[in-house]
Amino acid sequence: MERRDFVKTTCVSCIGILGGGTLLSLLNSCAPLPVLKTSSKENTLLIPESSFIEKQTVLIIKNSNLEFDILLVKKKDNTYNALYMQCTHQNQPLAATKTGLFCSAHGSAFNLNGEVTVEPATQSLKKFKTQTENNNVIIYLTAS
């Protein structure tokens, strides 16, 4: 095999391997997240900690009394973020992945702490206070 053919073949193989890994990573982050439908009682939501499937750190909470869903994020220290999935740019719904939230309307993005990572949004997401009690996460539906 000539040197030129060898380099060409090797480079194409490396690009394919790297590209495949990146594609796999992207597809994995786009995998559907678990969803829990729940009802509210006295302005709170009660979420069993067992709702988090093994190694799962994010859970979409749906409630018929809320216009937008809540993304419940389990942090490494076993505390939780409850993020209202409404874009702060122009009040559009957000899509969530294992790594953040994204607005398909204008491209804003937020991390799992609710902080803006890509504008045009400039304000962090609305957060709800959470508390753990008796193997449940309580989400208080008033902004914290």
What is the CB neighbour count within 10 angstroms for residue 94?
A: 24
Distance between CA atoms of residues 106 and 89, nearest Å: 8
Instruction: Read off the tokens for 44.
Output: 């709170």
116 in Cβ contact with 109 (< 8 Å): yes
Which residues of the chain carry a pLDDT beneath 50? 7-8, 11-29
* pLDDT of res. 41: 87
* pLDDT of res. 39: 85
39 in Cβ contact with 63 (< 8 Å): yes
Within 8 A by CB and 6+ apart from 14, the residues are none
Q: pLDDT tens for residues 5-26?
A: 554 455 444 444 444 444 444 4
Q: Is the dihedral of CA 46, 51, 57, 58 positive or negative?
A: negative
Distance between CA atoms of residues 127 and 92, nearest Å: 16
* pLDDT of res. 54: 80
* pLDDT of res. 9: 53
* pLDDT of res. 50: 92
* pLDDT of res. 7: 47
* pLDDT of res. 122: 95
Q: pLDDT tens for residues 64-81?
A: 999 999 999 999 998 999
Question: What is the helix (H) or strand (E) element at residue 117, kind and residue range?
Answer: strand 116-118
